[in-house]
Amino acid sequence: MEGHRSVGDVGDQRLEVTLTGVRKRPTVLPLVAFAFCGVLALPGCDSPPPPAAPETQTTSLAASAAPSSTPLPSPEALVDVLNRLADPAVPGADKIGLVEMATADDAAALDKFGKALADNGALPLTFEAADVTWSDTEPGHVRATVNVTTANTPPGTFSFPMEFAPVRNGWQLTRKTADLLLDFGDGATAPSPPP
């Protein structure tokens, strides 16, 4: 889905969002609306509006501040998402809700990820989420440095920055992060863990 969506008027200015590569999902529009509510509620908004922009320019919004009433998730909540994604006993169809914008077409790749980890002797993985902060590019998302230890002998350890998106009463790995870790294309295979 690509195009402009008008979301409201502020004085004599019209706010528009340019949507690119976003699938139409029930959670996308509420998140966009939430982002606009947060921007409109920022202090200093009662100053006179700037001059009207030319019609060819669209307003781009990026919030670096935390949602005002939402606490950061616990590291354990983020680790739970990763544990379930890596668990080969959890069917891929049950993992779809753990990845932002995942569809039934992604279930096979999610199954292969857990199987590849098991086949390579990396399981169980140990995850530790540290430095959990609000994303400075995606309103409502959080970033964390995730430290991963594999069960290989000797154990492999590495750190990877990951981003998580809110969903209902929990969190899910953002599609951008999942795309870095998993191959969702035809014949998907999981990356081998580091030695």
Radius of gyration of the chain (CA): 20
Q: Does residue 167 fall inside a structural domain?
A: yes
Q: Does residue 195 fall inside a structural domain?
A: no
Q: Looking at residue 190, what is its pLDDT?
A: 40
Same domain? For 99 and 143 the reply is: yes
Same domain? For 56 and 10 the reply is: yes
Q: Does residue 187 fall inside a structural domain?
A: no
Q: Looking at residue 155, what is its pLDDT?
A: 86
Q: Does residue 192 fall inside a structural domain?
A: no
Q: What is the CATH number of the domain that holds 125?
A: 3.10.450.50
Q: Does residue 32 fall inside a structural domain?
A: yes
From CA 90, how far away is CA 93, in angstroms rounded? Answer: 8
Q: Does residue 68 fall inside a structural domain?
A: no
Same domain? For 2 and 93 the reply is: no
Q: Give how many domains the chain has, as a whole number.
A: 2
Q: Looking at residue 164, what is its pLDDT?
A: 98
Same domain? For 89 and 163 the reply is: yes
- What is the Cβ-side half-sphere exposure of residue 180, based on CA atoms within 13 angstroms? 8
CB 172 within 8 A of CB 97: yes
Q: Does residue 188 fall inside a structural domain?
A: no
The pLDDT tens digits along the chain (195 residues) read 444 444 444 444 444 444 444 344 443 333 333 333 333 333 333 444 445 544 443 333 434 456 667 899 999 999 999 999 999 999 999 999 999 999 999 999 999 998 999 999 999 999 999 999 999 999 999 999 999 999 988 889 999 999 999 999 899 999 999 999 887 664 333 444 444
The domain containing residue 9 runs over which residues? 1-61
